[in-house]
Copies of this chain bind each other. A is one copy, B any other.
Amino acid sequence: MPDQDGGAVKPVTIAIDAMSGDRGPSVVVPAALAAVNENEALSIVLVGIQSELEALLHQGHERIRIVEAADVVRMHERPSHVLRHKRSSSMAVALGLVRDGVAQGCVSAGNTGALMAFGRSVIRMYPGIERPAIAKLIPSLRGRCHVLDLGANVDSSAENLYQYALMGSLMASAICGQAEPRVALLNVGEEEIKGNEQVRLASHMLAQCDTINYIGYIEGSDLFRDVADVVVCDGFVGNIALKTGEGVAGLLIELLEQAFTKTLYGRFIGFMARPIMGKLLRLMDPSRHNGASLLGLQGVVIKSHGNANERAMLAAIRQAVREVQLEVPGRINERLDDLMF
């Protein structure tokens, strides 16, 4: 199995919190089967209730095995509660497999707060980084853009924002191969005087940093315009902005579907239009863009949407494999030291 450079593809093992998300194993198991079938270098460890997983796996697969975890973290449980009482949950056990080197990456569609809390407690963080951030590669008109934080922290200081920028810049280099990714801060205007105190101070810090290609502020409308490769914001802002964007995309897809199904004429036009609307439909399909990275941990941890379907879960698994193969945590770790403020 040669990779692009002609070398052998290294085997990858991904642990999946199979009980998590709105649909649990019924989505995770088929996605895992699809993932190992499309990638011969991939092995998967499904973590969860053995009997349930076995029933869904049927004959099983030689590169899928099950690790029993009796407990499940529920969507609305508080992180502090989960940390104390759910040490034997599928989420905690899956993260433990990464810590112990059994797997190189972990995917969970569970409670974000709990995943962050367990992530920090089970897997080491990069030295000097105060808080992990949630980062996602979002599609844009001509390229892609890493956005962080998307909800790990709802009150980021300037120092936090600066650290997200460092991690995001290194991540973009590692994943997209950009030597000097353009890093921007998300703000309510492009002028220097705009924004709140944290953002203005973070901008000052980033402008001082020689090793980051800081390009200044961008507005929400520029997120999809290939203006920046890395966009940094507080998690409260990032989460709401991204979900609003997804909401608009969803609304549009719904309206297109209405137009193309309501009448016989509409159905005919819809059928005829399908081949030329491919790019649009791909860009707007949330299941293609599932999988956010918990950045700050010395291991690959991918958060899937809670309501992911099989295809979306597969996208999240692929994201985990990609980050492991590109050695993202190691490459961030080795360069972070030089960049800390």
Contact = CB atoms under 8 A, between A and B. Distances in A.
Report copies per complex: 2
Given A244-B245, A259-B276, A260-B276, 17 more contacts: A141-B251, A154-B195, A155-B196, A155-B197, A195-B236, A219-B239, A223-B244, A223-B247, A240-B241, A241-B244, A248-B249, A252-B252, A258-B279, A259-B277, A259-B280, A269-B269, A269-B273
Contact of A154 (B196, B236, B247, B259): B196
Interface in A236-267: 236-237, 239-252, 254-256, 258-260, 262-263, 265-266
Interface string A257-296: 0111011011001001100110110011000000000000
Contacts of A258: 279
A76 B217 CA distance: 14
How many A residues are at the interface, by size bracket? Answer: 35 or more
A323 B78 CA distance: 45
Interface of A: 76, 78, 140-141, 151, 154-155, 186-188, 191, 193-197, 219-225, 233, 235-237, 239-252, 254-256, 258-260, 262-263, 265-266, 269, 272-273, 276-277, 279-280, 283-284
Contact of A222 (B76, B219, B223, B247): B247
A258 B279 CA distance: 10
B240 A242 contact: no
Please report whether the interface of chain A is mostly helix, strand, loop or mixed according to DSSP. Answer: helix
A188 B251 contact: no
B219 A240 contact: yes
The residue in A195, A279, A280 that gathers the most chain B C-beta atoms within 10 A of its C-beta is A280
B220 A243 contact: yes
Contacts of A223: 244, 247
